[in-house]
């Protein structure tokens, strides 16, 4: 007798557990279908609120915290987001002549570097920052062009022809005077390159930092301390 009750008790517990799972499944299925009907039908109840028509969103149409995507096309900005986007990558002598030497409208800054050079990697973000600051400023109404030439088997002849002494190295070309500056552009010397470039772009620079080519192009850079007796003619 006790064995039958025990068997009946075990069977009843299993049956009750299965029925609970089935009931939970039915509830979840009902909720899912209820929400889907709201989402597809888009039932909106118009009511007045402060004299304006108000159409609330269906309860299950927009699950929190997701937002509804706008149908309007996103506006794409023409402004570059990173300095690397405005720097030209040169891999041949023909590209260097076309993009740098034959440029007659903009000042061009060229960086010579190598991938294995630790100093080049350290100064790379600063060079891209320099490109972002000056790419839309320049002479003749044009911006300053920036380019970089890596050292590899394809460009080794170009590095040798330009007599690049060390890396990283930079050349600054002016549209009216050609090559005007050759400087180091490591992390330690990036500020000197910025001052030099400011001179050619804006025609102003510190007296002590005035580059040689700037004196030829801009007379205001050719300033001395005056005669020894302090008098001016």
Residues 149, 187 share a domain:
yes
Asked, for residue 180, whether it belongs to a domain, the answer is yes
Asked, for residue 2, whether it belongs to a domain, the answer is no
Residues 100, 18 share a domain:
no
Q: Output the domain CATH number for residue 147.
A: 3.40.30.10
Residue 67: is it exposed, middle or buried by C-beta count within 10 angstroms (0-12/13-18/19+)?
exposed
Asked, for residue 233, whether it belongs to a domain, the answer is no
- Where is pLDDT greater, at 168 or 143? 168
Residues 17, 106 share a domain:
no
Instruction: With CA atoms as reference, report the closest residue to 181 among 190, 191, 166, 171.
Output: 171
Name the pLDDT band for 72 (thresholds 50, 70, 90). low
pLDDT in tens, 111-140: 999 999 999 999 999 999 999 988 887 655
Name the pLDDT band for 73 (thresholds 50, 70, 90). low
Q: Cα–Cα–Cα angle for 137, 80, 145, nearest 5°?
A: 40
pLDDT averaged over the chain? Answer: 74
Residues 117, 38 share a domain:
no
Residues 46, 138 share a domain:
no
Residues 102, 19 share a domain:
no
Q: Give the pLDDT of residue 96.
A: 96
Residues 203, 96 share a domain:
yes
pLDDT in tens, 160-210: 999 999 999 999 999 889 999 999 999 999 999 999 998 888 876 555 554
- Please tell me what DSSP assigns to residue 104: -
Answer for the pair 163, 179: CB distance below 8 angstroms, yes or no. Answer: no
Q: Give the pLDDT of residue 215.
A: 42
> 3-class SS at 148?
strand
Residues 125, 21 share a domain:
no
Q: Give the pLDDT of residue 12.
A: 73
- Structural domains in the chain (count): 2
Q: How far apart are CA 54 and CA 56, in angstroms?
A: 6
Instruction: With CA atoms as reference, report the closest residue to 193 among 163, 160, 168.
Output: 168
Residues 102, 37 share a domain:
no
Residues 96, 32 share a domain:
no
Q: How many residues are listed for the chain in this entry?
A: 233
Answer for the pair 152, 162: CB distance below 8 angstroms, yes or no. Answer: no
Asked, for residue 130, whether it belongs to a domain, the answer is yes
Q: Give the pLDDT of residue 34.
A: 62
Q: Which pair of tokens denotes residue 47?
A: 């009511």
Name the pLDDT band for 48 (thresholds 50, 70, 90). very low
Please compute the mean of the pLDDT values over residues 48-67 and round it to a whole number: 47
Answer for the pair 228, 222: CB distance below 8 angstroms, yes or no. Answer: no
Please compute the mean of the pLDDT values over residues 34-59 and round it to a whole number: 48
Q: Give the pLDDT of residue 180.
A: 93
% of the chain with per-residue pLDDT over 90 = 40
Q: Cα–Cα–Cα angle for 76, 127, 177, nearest 5°?
A: 100
Residues 96, 188 share a domain:
yes
Answer for the pair 117, 123: CB distance below 8 angstroms, yes or no. Answer: no
Q: Which residue range(s) make up the domain with 92?
A: 83-221
Backbone angles phi, psi at 145, to 5 degrees: -90, 140
pLDDT in tens, 205-229: 555 554 544 444 443 433 344 334 4
- Where is pLDDT greater, at 1 or 224? 1
- Where is pLDDT greater, at 96 or 141? 96
Q: Give the pLDDT of residue 27.
A: 81
Residues 192, 108 share a domain:
yes
């Amino acid at each position: 007798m006790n064995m039958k009750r025990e068997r009946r008790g075990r069977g009843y517990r299993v049956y009750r557990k299965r029925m609970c799972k089935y009931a939970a499944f039915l509830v979840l299925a009902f909720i899912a279908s209820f929400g889907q009907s709201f989402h597809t039908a888009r039932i909106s109840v118009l009511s007045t609120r402060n004299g304006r028509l108000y159409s609330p969103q269906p309860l299950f149409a927009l699950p929190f915290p997701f937002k509804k995507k706008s149908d309007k096309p996103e506006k794409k900005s023409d402004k570059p987001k990173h300095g690397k986007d405005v720097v030209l990558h040169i891999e041949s002598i023909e590209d260097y002549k076309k993009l740098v030497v034959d440029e007659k409208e903009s000042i061009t800054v060229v960086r010579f570097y190598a991938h294995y050079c630790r100093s080049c990697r350290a100064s790379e973000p600063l060079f891209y920052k320099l490109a972002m600051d000056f790419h839309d400023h320049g002479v003749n109404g044009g911006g300053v062009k920036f380019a970089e030439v890596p050292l590899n088997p394809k460009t080794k002849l170009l590095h040798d022809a330009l007599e690049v002494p060390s890396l990283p190295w930079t050349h600054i070309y002016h549209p009216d005077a050609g090559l005007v500056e050759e400087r180091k552009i490591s992390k330690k010397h990036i500020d000197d390159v910025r001052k030099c470039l400011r001179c050619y772009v804006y025609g102003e620079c510190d007296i002590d930092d005035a580059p040689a080519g700037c004196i030829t192009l801009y007379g205001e850079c050719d300033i001395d301390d005056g005669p020894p007796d302090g008098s001016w003619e």
